[in-house]
Amino acid sequence: MAIDREQLLHVAHLARLELRDDEIERLEGQLNDILEAVSKVSELDLSDVPPTSHPLEVVNVWGNDEPEPCLSVEEALANAPEREGDFFKVPPGGAA
Amino acid sequence: MIDTLRLTAYEAARLLRNKEISGAELWEAYRRAIDEGDGELHCFLHVCDDPGGDGLPLAVKDVIGTEGIPTTAGSKILEGYVPVYDSTVVRRAKEGHGLRVLGKTNTDEFAMGSSTENSAFGPTHNPWDLSRVPGGSGGGSAAAVSAGLAPWALGSDTGGSIKQPSALCGNVGLRPTYGTVSRYGVVAFASSLDQVGPVARNVRDCAFLYSVIAGRDEQDSTTVDLPQPVELPEADDVRGLRIGVPKELNEAEGIEPGVAAAVQAAIAKLEELGAEVGECSLPLSVEYGMACYYLISPAEASSNLARYDGVRYGYRADAGERLEMYERTRDQGFGDEPKRRIMVGTYALSAGYYDAYYGQAQKVRTVIKREHDALFETFDALVSPTSPSVAFPLGARTADPIAMYLSDLLTIPSCMAGLPGLNVPCGLSEGLPVGLQLIGPQFAENTLFRIGHALEQAIGFDPVPERLRS
């Protein structure tokens, strides 16, 4: 399975990456090499094998549903690139 | 005069306890070592001021969050980020044992790499040969410990980022059993694989640091309590232990002859020390491990790295409109390797490809886990080289992502299975350290420490880089 430029731009959009032209050029070749290498997994017939999403069998870890101390507003906003009052400030949405 | 090149954490703790040195003197010795040595090595991205007290200094990989101390994960997108809370591992190190964070060590960006060359802040150099890489992603921590710039360090390992740099720098590194060490406050790369672990100059120090950080954490629901406490290794023999030598991990294409020879000599030593050694096989794990890892880890990374959007912390690019701001921030903030992995992961998870790539890789993961489980019915531990090669020259693999990925060929399979792995130096090849990898069943860290310690005593490897010996 090879990835063409149109698919690459679609995936970049899904990942919210604005790629520059020189990056697109470079990535196209590299991604196809990587995808070819990882496609090796399809050689195996594993229709009867269950998937593993996690190496430990830990199930139903519950926490108490009680309020606990948490970050203050100032702490939460301490690293904000831009803020207004008690809010993170971002540019307007535009027509996306 | 404190010789930081030779001082073990165990010995430093004894000197402090007996008041032969003060906490301030010890801190000063490491700060001086950093001032003198780090210009050429570049292990540290940030060096701290002495917070006071008389605990041991601890170097911390820069993916591990530290309150009030910059944490960048080696990425421009986190430049200037200062966490407002400590990761659990750092909190435990500070509260339980008074350890003092000495500085933050260099890493491949978001721990993605095998040479530390993917750091946005420039590579770390190998203390044995400055023209070579220290391995990665935790090259900063490994090089700092080997060069005597820190008594010990914390690293993180997803597919080999503790074990492989320890192998290339000639020290001891543990990737713990998945779930034994909290990931709370650690910059996430691939959450079903990421584990924090210790890097030290010998096995005892490594075991002790593991005991400091391990155990269930309420803040990370994937953690569990250790079934038995950590035992500091004492015995000089390995009598009664059965050690398997998986053919595919020891005969893989690309293993350098000098690496294979050093590991074979160490295996012979294990037999002399009383182990029962037998050949065994991991037929599918090694052949399919890489492909499996390079689907699952990018898939998880693409999801974890979605949070870097320029809104709450980190870098933000100028843009008049929000979507443009997200996309430009991520383009300018991420380096090439995270972008590649985000792209591969997003593609592997996207509609129409999910089953063929991600779904299939999860099934391969089951196969890998089963193959390992089956061997542990016969063996207490498995042994192989940690890295197919000794430290390679800077720049040798940067142009070819797949060549770089193959650096982790031998460490990846057991990581996929969630198993603990210990790197122990076992000799030199071409004047550079060779690392031996010990893999155990889940929670078998004590067995690995025991084998590693006995081997360390028997081999007598000098962990001080030759060029730094006086």
- 3-state secondary structure at position B256: coil
Catalytic: B156? no
Note the pLDDT of residue B204. Answer: 98
pLDDT at res. A61: 85
pLDDT score of B153: 98
Neighbours of A86 (CB within 10 A): 9
Rg for chain A (alpha carbons), in Å?
22
With CB atoms and an 8 Å threshold, state whether B343 touches A92.
Answer: no
Kindly tell me if the per-residue pLDDT of A60 is higher than 90: no
pTM above 0.80, yes or no: yes
- Amino acid identity, residue B226? L
State mean pLDDT over A15-34.
Answer: 94
Across chain A, mean pLDDT equals: 92
For helices B23-41 and B9-17, what crossing angle results, to 10°? 150
Whether A96 has a pLDDT exceeding 50, the answer reads: no
Let me know: does B107 contact B61? Beta carbons within 8 Å.
yes
| pLDDT score at B450 | 98
**CB contact (8 A) between residue B326 and residue A16:** yes
| pLDDT tens for each residue of B26-78 | 999 999 999 999 999 999 999 999 999 999 999 999 999 999 999 999 999 99
pLDDT at A57: 79
pLDDT value at A1 more than 90: no
Instruction: Give me the domains of chain B, ranges plus CATH numbers.
Output: 9-283+366-468 (3.90.1300.10)
User: What size, in residues, is chain A?
Assistant: 96
Is the pLDDT at A95 greater than 90, yes or no?
A: no
Residue B137: asked if its preceding bond is cis (omega within 30°), the reply is: yes
Residue B335: which of B398, B405, B412 has the closest Cα? Answer: B398
User: Which residues 6+ apart lie within 8 Å of B191 measured at CB?
Assistant: B183, B222, B300, B304
Complex ipTM: 0.95
pLDDT tens figures, B304-348? 999 999 999 999 999 999 999 999 999 999 999 999 999 999 999
pLDDT < 50 regions, chain B: none
Amino acid of residue B291: A
C-alpha–C-alpha distance, residues B167 and B423, integer Å: 6
Q: Give buried/exposed letters for B393-402 (b at 16+ CB in 10 A, else e).
A: ebebbbeebe
**Cβ count near B464 (within 10 Å):** 18
Superfamily the domain A1-42 falls into: Glu-tRNAGln amidotransferase C subunit, N-terminal domain (1.10.20.60)
Question: What pLDDT shows up at residue B379?
Answer: 98
Whether the pLDDT of residue A94 is over 80: the answer is: no
User: What's the pLDDT at A58?
Assistant: 76
Any idea where the domains of chain A sit in the sequence?
Answer: 1-42
What does the pLDDT read at residue B97? 92
Q: How far apart are CA B97 and CA B54, in angstroms?
A: 10
B-contacting residues in A 19-78 (Cβ below 8 Å): 19-20, 23, 26-27, 30-31, 33-35, 37-44, 46, 49-56, 58, 61, 63, 71, 75-76, 78
CA–chain centroid gap for B237, Å, is: 27
Distance CA B213, CA B205 (A): 13
